[in-house]
Amino acid sequence: MALDNPPCETPEAHGRELGARARTALPALAKATRAQKDAALAGAATALRSGREALLVANAADIAAARDGGMAESFIDRLALTPERIEGIAAGLEAIAALPDPVGRVMDTTERPNGLLIERVAVPIGVIGMIYESRPNVAADAGALCLKSGNAVILRGGSDSARSTALIVEAMRAGLAGAGLPEDAVQAVGTYDRAAVAELLRGAGGTVDLVIPRGGKGLVGLVQREARVPTLLHLDGNCHSYVHADANLGKAVEVIVNAKLRRTGVCGATESILVDRAVAPAFVPMLAEAFAGRCELRGDGEAQAIDPRIAEATEEDWGTEYLDTVASVAVVGGLDEAIDWVNTHGSHHTDAILTEDHAVADRFLAEVDSAIVIHNASTQFADGGEFGMGAEIGIATGRFHARGPVGLEQLTTYKYRVRGSGQTRP
């Protein structure tokens, strides 16, 4: 297993060493032209394709070790690379190269009465720690988004994908070197000692600006609790779809089936369905029929009384992100109760209303305090690609810096550039 950065004396020192190396890469990254960054990404794609056989061998060794370790087949599937998946990773790098450069955008311009020209300009954030689990493609996706936005990244994936990740990182670094950019823009943590992760979460001696976790609730919760630097993350995606009394019920069923079942494992999947009392007798059986044999429904007493196919929900269900073929159903007394319910039980991630009354929709969109609020569409649109961002590194439910999908623009901050001609302040 090739490790780019042999650990120092201690895991903590290794974390700080990675951070320091990443910082030395920042000036060149910040002033890199779009052409250079795109060339680095294209070079990485080429290196990945030409190194395909070696990557498949390394991945087979990762898989064998995981099987020896008794990992479940669903885990093995996330870990596994195929020629098609490797081509997908390479194509993903090229797709990010094709996106506009988020660095250098002039976000606002003000000309002051004294003649000063003040521009707000997008600049990279700095050094980003990316902590994820077993999917080897995250190294390429996250590495490419950070590189394109002028940030240096320190990757720390799960130990199960160590051999695969090392080769993907090597391809990224070959692309950087070929484009005349510092290889240390993309580094991987060279130890699986958790003390190295803890050091990154502490900021690695002031060298790490931001940590982004990607993975299950255990990992994200750990990062949320332990990080002493800013993070962009979401812990839960307990998303709601609310069927208002003035919904088109046929359309509502269709949208909610998609919102729940298109993919059950994504954070934008609807987990809880609210139904106005006025339409519950008509709607709940339509819902139960559409979900029959495909998704378990757990409801409150009213929903159960309407349709016997609905199981009993406990209080815990209202706050649960199932990520599975289960959904909860509750009957509510109208818009106010629905807004209150979502703000109380939801995760401030993505919540939708189904109604033909636009004034009602406007109130839901205004008063539900979530990163994404939707009228008459599936909550599964909660995705940077679907928002037109081209790609995303994750979705954030915090209130700071970025909320919702985190794409290239959200991976930048800004500076003010002021041009004068000798002005002094009175």
- Residues at the contact surface with its own copies, assessed by CB under 8 A: 27, 30-31, 110, 112, 116, 118, 123, 125-126, 209-210, 230, 248, 251, 254-255, 257-259, 262, 361, 365-367, 369-378, 380-381, 383, 386-388, 398-401, 403-404, 413-425
For the bound state, the minimum distance from the C-beta of residue 206 to its own copies, rounded and expressed in Å, comes to: 11
Task: Please tell me what DSSP assigns to residue 380.
Answer: G
Alpha-carbon distance of 235 to 222, in angstroms, equals 10
Return the number of the residue (67 or 263) whose C-beta is nearest its own copies: 263
Residue whose structure tokens are 């201690």: 10
Cβ nearer to its own copies, comparing 221 with 230? 230
Q: How far apart are CA 189 and CA 3, in angstroms?
A: 8
CB of 260 to its own copies, least distance (A): 11
CB of 305 to its own copies, least distance (A): 29
Q: How far apart are CA 220 and CA 226, in angstroms?
A: 10
Question: Nearer to its own copies by C-beta: 29 or 41?
Answer: 29
Identity of the residue, 175 or 404, whose beta carbon is nearer to its own copies in the bound complex? 404
DSSP, res 184: G
Q: Are 245 and 280 in contact (CB under 8 A)?
A: no
Torsional sign, CA 86, 263, 369, 244: positive
Question: Cβ of residue 302: shortest distance to its own copies, in angstroms?
Answer: 26
d(CA 82, CA 138): 15
Q: What is the Cα–Cα distance from 125 to 29, expressed in whole angstroms?
A: 11
Cβ atoms of 78 and 63 within 8 Å: the answer is no
Torsion sign across C-alpha atoms 203, 100, 220, 183: negative
Give the nearer residue to its own copies in terms of CB position, either 99 or 162.
Answer: 99
Give 20 or 30: the residue with its C-beta nearer to its own copies: 30
Q: How far is the CB of 405 from its own copies (least distance, A)?
A: 8
Q: Which is nearer to its own copies, 34 or 52 (CB)?
A: 34
In whole angstroms, what is the distance from residue 83 CA to residue 162 CA?
Answer: 19
Q: How far apart are CA 284 and CA 274, in angstroms?
A: 10
Closest CB to its own copies among residues 60, 257: 257
- Written as six digits, the tokens of 345 are 């039980």
- Least Å distance between CB 306 and its own copies? 24
Q: How far is the CB of 298 from its own copies (least distance, A)?
A: 23
Answer left, alpha or beta for residue 332, where phi above 0 means left and psi between -120 and 50 means alpha.
beta
The type of residue at 425 is R
Q: Which is nearer to its own copies, 168 or 256 (CB)?
A: 256
**Cβ at position 218, least distance to its own copies in Å:** 20
**Residue 189 in contact with residue 162, Cβ under 8 Å?**
no
134 vs 350 by CB, closer to its own copies:
350
Work out how close the CB of 233 gets to its own copies at its nearest, in angstroms, rounded to a whole number.
Answer: 13
Question: Which amino acid makes up residue 94?
Answer: E
Task: Pick between residue 59 and residue 412 the one whose CB is nearest to its own copies.
Answer: 412
Q: Compute CA distances 85 → 55, 56, 71, 135, 374, whole Å.
A: 11, 10, 21, 11, 32
Min dist. Cβ of residue 368 to its own copies (A): 9
Token output for 252: 């509502």
Within 8 A by CB and 6+ apart from 407, the residues are 145, 384, 387, 389, 390, 391, 392, 393
For residue 205, the one-letter residue type is G
**Exposed (0-12), middle (13-18) or buried (19+): which is 112, by Cβ within 10 Å?**
exposed
Q: Residue 165 CB, nearest distance to its own copies (Å)?
A: 27
